[in-house]
Structure 1
Amino acid sequence: MRTKHLLVAAVASTVLATAACGSAPAADPAGTAGPATTITWQTTGGDATEYEKKAFQEPFTARTGAKFDNVTSLNYISQLLTMVEAQKTIWDVVHTGSYLAKQYCGRLFESIDLSKYKTDLVPPGTTTDCSVPAVKYATVMAYDTTVYKGTVPTSIKDFFDTRTFPGKRVFFGGTPRGIVEAALVADGVAPDRLYPLDVTRALAKLSTIKQDIIFAPSFTAVQQSLVNKQATMTLTLNGRLGIIQDSGGTLAPVWDFTSWDFDSFVVPKGSPNAAAAKQALEFTQEPENLKKYAALSGLTPVRSDVDPNTIEFSTNGKLFNPFVGQGKGTVSLLDPTYWAQNSTDITQKWTAWQVG
């Protein structure tokens, strides 16, 4: 318990010290984005930051004159909790997942004017008072074509058939999202009857191949396991599969059951440039900006008026994208409301099962 308290204190000290060393520059008159505005944008880092710069930030600067300061934090929710509680928020835009946007709307994230967004062009249940979905991605099953020839995997059930398809399976062990759903469908649950999730049943199904699972500590480790042939089958994000293929992977997708999820951009409570940040959020939702971001990242706009078949994805980005082309089987949304309400409990069970 003492260690936990020290960790929380350390995070708080870091955040408050950062705020004390220099607050964000003042916004332009009336809070609108302009040359005097610097929007602090929290992102996932690496290539993702570069994609957001090119697709959203640089064009927004060209339109308004506003500048951006990008920051990356793997524990951004913990940092936001500290900032908001201390009333020392120093970020203006946050890139976050679907269930987190729903879970923390009103507590950590500012409300937005939904009348400024085309909410009729996104699936029901994907908006909140604080967010509109931007881009979607999927958890896709794939196998190594150099290992499985002739008789190859064709269904999600084959992921659990180690007799016909021997070899290690790998996925990111940090989250059960998408994995639990796949296990249940493989065990006979209809995709439209998944929720509420029978987590006990899903873990029992996963236990049948537990000795053949590699629980990767990161998506990079998933990539290494597949490129190095330590694993021959995976359930992982479609964007990552494109990267793996570009890095020497020899994979093919299985279009049977695939789950999808989405990310949103939100404004944290107490943002020093909230009005300008909300302008930037509206800008990210413009179709041409979404298409540019999609082409760079391999992700897919959620808006129904943006045809993914018109986006210039890379060859490998298109290969593993369930939203492009036809005949991609069942593609089901991970219920954001259910996960917002149950993520903590399910993750605890997932972690206990892994180490048990």
Structure 2
Amino acid sequence: MTACGAGGDSGDSGTGEQKLTWASTGGQFQEDEKKALQEPFTAQTGTQFTNVTPAEIAQVRTMVKAGKTIWDLANMSWIYAGAYCGELFEKLDDPGLDRSKFPPGTTGDCFVPTYRYANIFSYNADLFPGEKPTKIEDFFDVKRFPGKRIVYDYPKAGLLEAALVADGVPPEKVYPIDLERALKKIDTIKSSMVFAPSYGAIQQQLVDRQASMVLTVTARSIVSAQTGANLVPVWDFNTTDIGALVIPKGTPNKQLAQEMLVFVTEPAQATAYAKLTGTAPARSEVDVTSIGYTEQQKAFNAFLPDRGRLVEQDKQWWIDNTDAVVKRWTAWKVG
């Protein structure tokens, strides 16, 4: 692949140098993006990257409304790209982004996955020296397994689906989500719930042994274990999801940004990124067992064999219902 072109369409700054501005979450996550994704693209094409943080939807709205889009790629939820496709985000039309190469249900007009992860149920083994949790129902059983349950304060973090399955709904019938039934189930442990404002807060509370159980994303599970939390994953039921790089509407460098997306999802880069982060490659043909994960990364990887029941979060359902779910979630928490 060669990223080439002329003028603004190729990210040419006027000096013959191609440039892309990349917005992401900062920290180690963005450093891994630089190493596994950006540096190889620079070596191959000469494209230089400007990295900014954080990648927030409010900033995209402001740029697009003003007609001054300065971000070319943003690592943010595909929900925004799905809900505001063609309005705040560019539709992807590069033929190199062949959607048949990705797992069913993981693509949209304005997004393709750049990696896959899971919302993983784990427990702190230090706090359960006797009987161990073994199924999703145990997350909701504070009598047999006491202690705080910590989750990210956002309803799409896997808790609603987990509550329904724990309440007897077959995984394949979780969608469309029965929100009131899910909240009723979570009500049974609401006094033991901790709603963390950030993934960093989740990690700190786990390391400090302030929570006995957690439902959080792959990478944060791994980092928490690496920094001292004695976490053990429960491979019974977990939801899977995707990370995505999206292209804000109005970038003058759309074609170059799409070429970068093609590059990011190719097996070599996808494998390098997965090896750094412990996440899984997005494209179906990459064998996850060949990645070369560390033992700790393997321990929290939901895409390896024999990892229980997995349900991909329904992209269209979340795109259509997120605003209403967040409103109801907020009211429920304070009610």
TM-score (norm 1): 0.88
Q: Secondary structure at the match of 2:233?
A: strand
Residue 139 of structure 2 is aligned to residue 162 of structure 1: no
Q: Deviations over 1:58-98 (max 9, x none)?
A: 11111111100011125x21111111122111111111223
Matches within 5 A, 1:1-356: 28-29=6-7, 31-32=9-10, 36-74=17-55, 76-324=56-304, 326-356=305-335
Runs of 4+ with deviation above 4 angstroms: 27-30
Q: CA deviation at 1:149?
A: 2.9
Which amino acid is the alignment partner of residue 41 of structure 2?
F
How many Å separate the matches in 2 of 1:61 and 1:109? 24
Instruction: Work out whether residues 33 and 279 of structure 1, in 8 Å CA contact, stay in contact via their aligned partners in 2.
Output: no
How many Å separate the matches in 2 of 1:30 and 1:153? 56
How many Å separate the matches in 2 of 1:171 and 1:233? 9
How many Å separate the matches in 2 of 1:114 and 1:157? 44
Instruction: Work out whether residues 33 and 64 of structure 1, in 8 Å CA contact, stay in contact via their aligned partners in 2.
Output: no
Which amino acid is the alignment partner of residue 306 of structure 2?
G
Which amino acid is the alignment partner of residue 310 of structure 2?
V
How many Å separate the matches in 1 of 2:157 and 2:85? 20
How many Å separate the matches in 2 of 1:57 and 1:138? 24
Q: CA deviation at 1:36?
A: 1.2
- Cα gap change, 1:30/1:202 in structure 2, threshold over 3 Å: closer, same or farther? closer
Q: CA deviation at 1:179?
A: 0.7
Q: Secondary structure at the match of 1:222?
A: helix
Which amino acid is the alignment partner of residue 10 of structure 2?
T
How many Å separate the matches in 1 of 2:278 and 2:11? 29
Instruction: Work out whether residues 94 and 258 of structure 2, in 8 Å CA contact, stay in contact via their aligned partners in 1.
Output: no
Instruction: Work out whether residues 151 and 195 of structure 2, in 8 Å CA contact, stay in contact via their aligned partners in 1.
Output: yes
What stretches of structure 2 of length at least 5 have no aligned partner? none
For 1:23, the equivalent position in structure 2 comes to none
Which amino acid is the alignment partner of residue 94 of structure 1?
A
What is the percent sequence identity of the aligned residues? 44
Query: What is the aligned length?
Result: 328
How many Å separate the matches in 2 of 1:275 and 1:217? 36
How many Å separate the matches in 1 of 2:71 and 2:127? 47
What is the CA RMSD across the aligned residues, in angstroms?
1.6
Q: CA deviation at 1:312?
A: 2.2
Deviates more, 1:254-263 or 1:220-229: 220-229
How many Å separate the matches in 1 of 2:252 and 2:222? 38
Q: Secondary structure at the match of 1:171?
A: strand
Instruction: Work out whether residues 11 and 252 of structure 2, in 8 Å CA contact, stay in contact via their aligned partners in 1.
Output: no
Q: CA deviation at 1:222?
A: 1.0
What stretches of structure 1 of length at least 5 have no aligned partner? 1-26
Which amino acid is the alignment partner of residue 62 of structure 1?
A
How many Å separate the matches in 2 of 1:256 and 1:265? 30
Instruction: Work out whether residues 101 and 264 of structure 1, in 8 Å CA contact, stay in contact via their aligned partners in 2.
Output: no
Instruction: Work out whether residues 98 and 261 of structure 1, in 8 Å CA contact, stay in contact via their aligned partners in 2.
Output: no
Q: CA deviation at 1:213?
A: 1.0
Q: CA deviation at 1:287?
A: 0.6
